[in-house]
A and B are shown apart, each in its own frame.
Chain A
Amino acid sequence: EAGVTQFPSHSVIEKGQTVTLRCDPISGHDNLYWYRRVMGKEIKFLLHFVKESKQDESGMPNNRFLAERTGGTYSTLKVQPAELEDSGVYFCASSQGGLYNEQFFGPGTRLTVL
């Protein structure tokens, strides 16, 4: 069974540009989470989907970030326009069943904004 995949693995963009990160969860996993780790800091929650619905987006930094989950399958996280402080590693995780079941993490997308 394939794990959680994320694309791209690395992205380098200039301030003001737009970037879209993609996450493919494990098939059948209804819960999908986005997290971010800024260099030197802890991993922080961004938002949580259940199927295609946003359940909790309390961790989204501001309205430059837009997350979608089409048809309850893959998810995208768009940053527009990107700022320097958006640099970091963006992780996606998925889980099935209950909310406290194991979250399976992707390898992350490293975003660098110059």
Chain B
Amino acid sequence: SQKIEQNSEALNIQEGKTATLTCNYTNYSPAYLQWYRQDPGRGPVFLLLIRENEKEKRKERLKVTFDTTLKQSLFHITASQPADSATYLCALPRDSGYSTLTFGKGTMLLVSP
């Protein structure tokens, strides 16, 4: 089944800068990839879904890229704000095709004023 690698160390950036988080996967290339945000003690919240035929997807200050050659997705938050501080999870189908999701451990983002 799929293995997902997200940086376990927290990412600290200053307000106004662009935050870039990485999601690497190790097995087959998925048909799609999802990103979620999770605040402490709460359930994850869906942010974006990108499909294998889409190189890039945007939603307001968020941008996701998907490179099937590198087996990597990058998640960017531009003009970051302290309210963006949270853990960001990457999720892929567990097996090939359209199986249920498997989630990465997530990367914590801390935006300081």
Chains A and B are bound partners: no
